[in-house]
Amino acid sequence: MKVDIDLLKKFENGLEPSRPEASKIPARVLGYGEISTVFAIEGQDKLACKRMPIFQCQEELDQYQVIYDEYNRLLKGEVGIEVPPYDCVAFDTNRGYIVCFDVQERQSSESFGNRAIHILSEDEITVLVRLILKNLLKIWEFNRKNKSLQLGIDGQISNWVIRGFKPDKPQVGPTAKLFYIDTSTPFIRKDGVEQLNPELFMRSAPSFLRWLIRWLFLKDVMTRYYDFHLVAVDLIANFYKEQRPELIPALVEVANDFFDTEAKELNITPITVKEVESYYKEDAIIWTVFLALRRFDRFLHKWILRRPYVYILPGKIKR
């Protein structure tokens, strides 16, 4: 891919994390993650640039870049899940920290699953979810064949792109092709050992709460993406966040039918509507409180400690 590293450096050095819209180089936020923000930057309009200022030394960065490349390669070459063309670039900033940009070929916003479900028919949405489950199944078929090498995945609806999607003629058939885009969190285990440093997830957490989050939640966050049942629950629970809760009973039936037919050999426990509801309520409370505490942490850094706060926080999230 043709990535203008000098432009990314100028963008980062002129970025004010608390007001990304006021960057010296015009850019638009395409999406937020827990440890990252995705930008469309003027001058690199065909690319989606995911900013990850989470590395404290070159050794951490080098390890990440190796497993990032490996994860993308395994998904496409071994598992059979398509990913967009990608690259990974990193550099030291003039503010004393390392920043990494995971770069992908930019996809049309209407083709993302969380956008498409608002214009597709209910029948086509169930087709889309079944297509996602088919792609997810490839992960666990791979894991079953490779005991010493295991992959995880975050299968939520916003991480899938419908290739060739036309919003003026919104259709999804059983042979539609998908891209998986959230490869910046490369879940790989070798001989049971997580290759991604779990402490990276802690970098954006409020400094005064890291010990508690590490104790209560870190293990759960790092393991849920290796469990097909929980990944499917999370996928369906996303429909609460995306304001389509009326679809959840039908999607639970779709998932359970899929488990009982195409994924029968995995003996996956069926999902219930109550389980999805409980999962989402708990998850929503955790992330709402977490975001509020991150905003407080930003306030402490900026006005009390007088230290830079390098993370970008989303505005109000509708749940």
User: Is 313 a member of any domain?
Assistant: no
Name the β-bridge partners of 86. 104
Mean pLDDT of all residues in 171-193: 95
Q: How far apart are CA 8 and CA 210, in angstroms?
A: 30
Q: What is the pLDDT of residue 130?
A: 98
Given a cut of 70, is residue 234 above it in pLDDT?
yes
Question: Taking CA 161 as the corner, what is the angle to CA 48 and CA 234, rounded to the nearest 5 degrees?
Answer: 105
Please indicate, yes or no, whether residues 136 and 254 belong to a single structural domain of this protein. Answer: yes
Mean pLDDT of all residues in 102-126: 96
CATH number, domain of 55, equals 3.30.200.20
User: Is 319 a member of any domain?
Assistant: no
Average pLDDT, the chain: 91
Take residue 281 and report the two structure tokens written for it: 């309520």
Instruction: Look at 247 and 285; give whichever has higher pLDDT.
Output: 247
**208 band by pLDDT with thresholds 50, 70 and 90:** confident
Q: What is the arrangement of strands in the sheet containing 86-92, beginning at the earlier edge strand? A: 27-32, 37-41, 47-55, 98-105, 86-92
Tally Cβ neighbours within 10 Å of residue 63. 16
Mean pLDDT of all residues in 130-150: 97
Mean pLDDT of all residues in 102-110: 96
Please indicate, yes or no, whether residues 91 and 149 belong to a single structural domain of this protein. Answer: no
Q: What is the pLDDT of residue 168?
A: 87
User: Is 207 a member of any domain?
Assistant: yes
Given a cut of 70, is residue 158 above it in pLDDT?
yes
Range of the domain at 101: 5-105
Given a cut of 80, is residue 258 above it in pLDDT?
yes
- What are the counts of helices (DSSP H) followed by strands (DSSP E) for the chain? 9, 10
Please indicate, yes or no, whether residues 194 and 282 belong to a single structural domain of this protein. Answer: yes
Please indicate, yes or no, whether residues 205 and 288 belong to a single structural domain of this protein. Answer: yes
Please indicate, yes or no, whether residues 154 and 67 belong to a single structural domain of this protein. Answer: no
Q: How far apart are CA 248 and CA 259, in angstroms?
A: 16
Q: Are 12 and 93 in contact (CB under 8 A)?
A: yes
**218 band by pLDDT with thresholds 50, 70 and 90:** low
Mean pLDDT of all residues in 220-230: 89
Q: How far is CA 173 from CA 46, 111, 170, 212, 232, in A?
A: 27, 14, 10, 46, 20
Tally Cβ neighbours within 10 Å of residue 160. 26
For β-strands 193-194 and 188-190, DSSP reports them as antiparallel
Q: How far apart are CA 22 and CA 208, in angstroms?
A: 29
Q: What is the pLDDT of residue 80?
A: 98
Please indicate, yes or no, whether residues 196 and 172 belong to a single structural domain of this protein. Answer: yes
Mean pLDDT of all residues in 232-251: 97
Give the side-chain half-sphere CA count within 13 A for 2. 4
Where a domain ends, among 61, 86, 105?
105
Please indicate, yes or no, whether residues 229 and 298 belong to a single structural domain of this protein. Answer: yes
Where a domain ends, among 90, 105, 120?
105
Please indicate, yes or no, whether residues 69 and 117 belong to a single structural domain of this protein. Answer: no
User: Is 317 a member of any domain?
Assistant: no
Please indicate, yes or no, whether residues 62 and 95 belong to a single structural domain of this protein. Answer: yes
Q: How far apart are CA 242 and CA 276, in angstroms?
A: 14
Please indicate, yes or no, whether residues 170 and 29 belong to a single structural domain of this protein. Answer: no
Tally Cβ neighbours within 10 Å of residue 41. 23
User: Is 310 a member of any domain?
Assistant: no
User: Is 187 a member of any domain?
Assistant: yes
Please indicate, yes or no, whether residues 34 and 70 belong to a single structural domain of this protein. Answer: yes
Provide the phi-psi class of 192: left if phi over 0, else alpha when psi is between -120 and 50, else beta.
left
Q: What is the pLDDT of residue 230?
A: 96
**212 band by pLDDT with thresholds 50, 70 and 90:** low
**312 band by pLDDT with thresholds 50, 70 and 90:** confident
Q: What is the pLDDT of residue 154?
A: 96
User: Is 315 a member of any domain?
Assistant: no
Instruction: Look at 293 and 126; give whichever has higher pLDDT.
Output: 126
Mean pLDDT of all residues in 287-299: 84
Take residue 2 and report the two structure tokens written for it: 């043709």
For tokens 């029948």, name the residue.
123
Mean pLDDT of all residues in 30-54: 91
Given a cut of 90, is residue 96 above it in pLDDT?
no
Please indicate, yes or no, whether residues 21 and 141 belong to a single structural domain of this protein. Answer: no
Percent of the chain having pLDDT more than 90?
69
Give the side-chain half-sphere CA count within 13 A for 221. 18
pTM, full prediction: 0.93
| Secondary structure (DSSP) of 179-219 | EE---SS--EEETTEESS-GGGGGTTS-GGGHHHHHHHTHH
**51 band by pLDDT with thresholds 50, 70 and 90:** very high
Q: What is the pLDDT of residue 123?
A: 96
Given a cut of 70, is residue 318 above it in pLDDT?
no
User: Is 309 a member of any domain?
Assistant: no
- For the chain, the domain total comes to 2
Where a domain ends, among 105, 120, 143?
105
